[in-house]
Every structure is written in structure tokens, then in C-alpha cells.
Amino acid sequence: MPSANSLVIRRLGPDEWEQVRAFRLLALKAAPGSFFVSHAETAEKPPSYWTNMLGDEEAALFGLFDGDCLVALTAAFVDRDDPSGGTAFLGMSFVLPSHRGRGLARRLFKARLDWARARGLRRAVVYSRASNLSSRGAIECQGFVLTDEVDHVWPDGERDKDLKYELALDVQVAVKPPFTPF
């Protein structure tokens, strides 16, 4: 396994829609209880759904590559639920199991928060299933604050809390340093 620094993260474009679709469907199949949407409904989407999302100026999808191999996907969107247009909605994160537990979630957050700050967005929101401890760990070490929780039935059919986290982008939050073993 190469170090996290030898992996490259970059924004993905519309011409890469087939790779993004395949990776997203893999994620939804592997972790059906982690996302809001199901594999079945996403598999039905036409090619234009993917090319539009990847070409949308108000969205940014990032791929983390180990050589030529896409090993993680993540996304940020200008949140349409905030009429002021000042909020980034973060989602779609998936790291291949072979690459988990090595702090790569930090890279996924940095790419998205840099994008949001460069757009002048003032706030980021992200949601996590309460029992998804790796997701919560990744979110909380970025300084996100828990602001709401609601009951939710997830695509795997189970009921669990959906936690809402928020981060103000106009203040620099001290990101918890990664754990370094002796």
C-alpha cells in the first residue's frame, strides 16, 4: 500500500461518467445502509444524469487515484436547500475497503472544503448514519458540529438516526492531527 501522499486526488469531468457510474454503483451495492439513495434507483439513471452532474458548475466530484485505479469518490454540491446559496452539501464518499483506515477521508474533505471556500461558500453540511462510526469519525475530526438528528429508514431497510453536521467555513478550525504511532 503506498502512502497517502503518493495518491492523487482530482476533480472528475463529464467524459469520465462511465467510471464514476461504475464506482458509485459499486459503493451503493457494498454499503447500502450508508447512503440516502439505493443501488436500484441509481442504476436506472440515464447517461445524462451522470454527465450533467459531472459538468455542473455547482457540483464537484473528486476521484482519489492510486496510479490509474480509482480508489475513492466524493462530492460537494451547492446546497439547493439553502436559498442564500452559501452552503456546501457534502456526500457520496466511498473509499475502497482495501484503502480504508489510512486517513484518506481527510484528503476527501480537504478537496471539497477547498472547493467550497474557493467559491466563497460560508458553511458546509454533511450527514451520517448514527451507527456509521468510520463516517462519523472522519466528519468529527474535521471540526464539524452535530446540529440535528432525525429518524430515518435507510436503503438497507433499517431504521437509524440520520445525523446532521455543520462547519462554518469563514473561520479556520483546527483539524485534529492524525494519530501517529510510536
Ligand X SMILES: CC(C)(COP(=O)(O)OP(=O)(O)OC[C@H]1O[C@@H](n2cnc3c(N)ncnc32)[C@H](O)[C@@H]1OP(=O)(O)O)[C@@H](O)C(=O)NCCC(=O)NCCS
| Nearest residue to the partner ligand X, using Cβ | 137
Q: Assess 137 for contact with ligand X (CB under 6 A).
A: yes
Q: Assess 122 for contact with ligand X (CB under 6 A).
A: no
Backbone angles phi, psi at 48, to 5 degrees: -65, -30
User: Quick one: which of 69, 133, 146, 153 contacts ligand X (CB under 6 A)?
Assistant: 133
Whole-angstrom distance, CA of residue 131 vs CA of residue 116: 27
Q: What is the dihedral of CA 165, 30, 99, 172, to 10 degrees?
A: -10
User: Quick one: which of 7, 138, 163, 167 contacts ligand X (CB under 6 A)?
Assistant: 138
Q: Assess 2 for contact with ligand X (CB under 6 A).
A: no
C-alpha R_g of the chain:
16
Q: Assess 104 for contact with ligand X (CB under 6 A).
A: yes
Q: Assess 121 for contact with ligand X (CB under 6 A).
A: no
Give the three-state DSSP class for 81: coil
Task: Pick the piece of the chain touching ligand X (CB under 6 A) from 62-70, 103-111, 144-152, 154-162.
Answer: 103-111
Nearer Cβ to ligand X (62/94): 94
In the range 63-102, which residues lie near ligand X by CB under 6 A? 93-95, 100-102
Decide: 75 and 116 in contact? Cβ < 8 Å. Answer: no
Q: Assess 164 for contact with ligand X (CB under 6 A).
A: no
Q: How many residues bind ligand X (CB under 6 A)?
A: 24
Q: Can you read off the three cell numbers belonging to residue 152?
A: 430515518
In the range 7-46, which residues lie near ligand X by CB under 6 A? 31, 34-35
**Who contacts 158 (Cβ-Cβ below 8 Å, separation ≥6)?**
33
